Amino acid sequence: MREFIVEADGGSRGNPGPAGYGSVVIDATTGETLMEAAEYIGVATNNVAEYKGLVAGLKAAHQLDPAASVHVRMDSKLVVEQMSGRWKIKHPDMKPLAAEAARVFPSSQVTYEWIPREKNKHADRLANEAMDAGKRGERWSPSASTAEFDARAARSAAEAPAGPPGDAAAGAAKARAALATTADARAAGNSAAAPAAKAAAPPVGWAAPADLGAPATFVLLRHGETPLTPEKRFSGSGGSDPSLSDAGREQVERAAAALAARGTIQAVVSSPLKRCQETAHTVAARLGLDVHLEEGLRETDFGAWEGLTFGEVRERQPEELTAWLASPKVAPPGGESFATVTRRVSAARDRLTGTYAGRTVLLVTHVTPIKTLVRLALGAPPESLFRMELSAASVSAVAYYADGNASVRLLNDTSHLR
């Protein structure tokens, strides 16, 4: 049985006054935001807005999986106690809303928990965005929402440490740090409730229709460790194509169990390299799915550097290494440049989003392809490849919408390995 967390909130600027609600559905296993909903509801009280947020959150969860187990978290003591059956519902405006909430799921599938307001920032921010939109005479737009990012910032989420692509080591991030730049994109669209807010905008800006439908979601699994991984050696597609180590096989078994518990994967696609195929078949066997191969998902060919550490390359070919670090268009001797890999991965992405539109597919691949998909989704510069950590058997996720926008939903999750 899938497990969801629903966080909901509502607010009124005047009580009664202009009011709105916000709610978010979270995958209890991965922490991934699955759906957001927010709406300006006109003049109402705080309690009515909170109940409407609850109803919207439960309906969004039901839309995802009516058989799921749902744990509701709200900072409204009144709503939590009334829905738990410990307090009576006396107010005539709230009775029908409470009854509507109770009808969405059987009571055996829903539990309630009160949380302090500071732990309900995501839903609170959505409610305020809805009220702000109402004040402007507009509807809340998921494409313009920053609620998830604001909530994470408020929780002081730790930033991922830097690390170079491939299994090659350290030093590259430090060498490229001076080249780092940042880019932000914001624009507007319209919708009352939709999948989680998108993180990247196409060059023409946002022009989202009211209903984009379900996105194609890529759950990105890096293969498990090989004997080269702990030594941080360049391990691409031009070397010996190593198999998983014993430690790597254990990592993959844990990843397979976590993905099976998640229950959302509908297809499995793998890089043709041995370490990915071994990883993919282990997961697919647990899910009861076949494995499809995609050539575009193979790792960078590191040419003459295959099997070497970063330090060994720096000692043997310092000028070539410096040139490679300075430009994504420069390839290792006999290998591929990151610019070439980007074109290959982009073409694979386009094929796969077309094939798996509206579905959730597991892509089993390597460091550079995963970082490239994340980088492109964010609209980040090429040097950002050196500023993301991506552990063996880690899980990341990117969603692709029908209008061409993308949303990075998860990066380097290793909770299943602990």
The residue with greater pLDDT, 340 or 31, is 340
* Res 157 pLDDT > 50: no
Average the pLDDT over 72-88 and give the result. Answer: 95
Binding residues for substrate: 275
Q: Looking at the predicted structure, is the pLDDT value of residue 64 above 60?
A: yes
Are 143 and 197 contacting, i.e. CB atoms less than 8 angstroms apart? yes
Rg of the chain over Cα atoms, rounded to whole angstroms, equals 23
Helix/strand/coil (H/E/C) assignment for every residue in 356-393: CCCCEEEEEECHHHHHHHHHHHHCCCHHHHHECCCCCC
What DSSP state is assigned to residue 174?
H
Q: Is the peptide bond before 328 cis (omega within 30 degrees of 0)?
A: no
How many residues does the structure list for the chain?
418
Give residue-wise pLDDT tens across range 366-408.
999 999 999 999 999 999 999 999 999 999 999 998 878 899 9
Residue the block writes with tokens 């009144």: 78
Question: Beta 216-222 vs 69-74: how paired, if at all?
Answer: unpaired
Q: How confident is the model at residue 187 (pLDDT cuts 50, 70, 90)?
A: very low
DSSP state of 400: E
- Tell me the C-alpha distance between 306 and 303, whole Å: 6
Judge contact between 244 and 338, C-beta under 8 A: no
Out of 7, 50, 129, 223, pick the active-site residue.
223
Mean pLDDT of 201-210: 38
Q: CA-CA distance, 363 to 368, in Å (whole number)?
A: 13
Q: Would you say residue 196 has pLDDT above 50?
A: no
Q: Cα(270)–Cα(298) distance, rounded to whole angstroms?
A: 8
Measured in whole angstroms, how far is the alpha carbon of residue 237 from the centre of its chain? 27
- Is the pLDDT score of 203 beyond 60? no
> What are the percentages of helix, strand and coil residues in the chain, rounded to 5?
40, 20, 40
> What is the rounded CA–CA span in Å between residue 168 and residue 307?
9
What pLDDT is stored for residue 239 in this prediction?
A: 80
Phi-psi region of 379 (alpha: psi -120 to 50; beta: other; left: phi over 0): left
Sorting pLDDT into bands at 50, 70 and 90, what band is 156? very low
pLDDT at residue 23, as a whole number: 96
Nearest Cα to 24, choosing from 47, 51, 2, 53? Answer: 53
Query: Would you say residue 241 has pLDDT above 60?
Result: yes
| Three-state DSSP state, 178 | helix
| CA dihedral angle for residue 387, residue 388, residue 390, residue 391, rounded to 10 degrees | 70
Q: What pLDDT shows up at residue 152?
A: 66
In the chain, pLDDT over 90 holds for what percent of residues? 68
pLDDT tops 50 at residue 192: no
pLDDT digits (tens, 9 = 90+) for 366-375: 999 999 999 9
The catalytically annotated residue of 7, 39, 299, 320 is: 299
Each residue's pLDDT tens digit, 92-121: 889 999 999 999 999 999 999 999 988 999
* Mean pLDDT across the chain: 85
Give, in degrees to the nearest 5, the angle at Cα 72 between 38 and 75.
75
pLDDT score recorded for residue 175: 38
CA distance 289 to 149: 34
Q: Is the pLDDT of residue 58 over 60?
A: yes
Residue 221 pLDDT greater than 60, yes or no:
yes
Q: What is the mean pLDDT of residues 350-357?
A: 92
Measured at the CA of 418, the angle between CA 387 and CA 410, to 5 degrees, comes to 40
Asked if 318 and 283 count as a contact pair (C-beta separation under 8 A), the reply is no
* Confidence at residue 169, expressed as pLDDT on a 0 to 100 scale: 35
For tokens 């969801």, what's the residue?
A: 4
Name 413's bridge partners. 395
Residue 200 banded pLDDT, cuts 50, 70, 90: very low
Average pLDDT score over residue span 165-194: 36
pLDDT, tens digit, 9 for 90 and up, residues 274-299:
999 999 999 999 999 999 999 999 99
- Mean pLDDT over residues 29-42, rounded? 89
Mean pLDDT of 247-269: 93
Q: Where are the beta strands (DSSP E) in 223-323?
A: 267-270, 291-293
What is the pLDDT at residue 154? Answer: 58
pLDDT confidence band for 32 (50 / 70 / 90)? confident
Residue 137, CA distances (Å) to 134, 146, 188, 205 in order: 5, 19, 14, 21
- Residue in 275, 272, 270, 288 with CA at minimum distance from that of residue 363: 270
- Domains of the chain in start order, with CATH, are 3-142 (3.30.420.10), 216-417 (3.40.50.1240)
Cα 185 to Cα 89: distance, rounded to the nearest angstrom: 45
- Residue 223: active-site member: yes
Residue 140: pLDDT over 80: yes
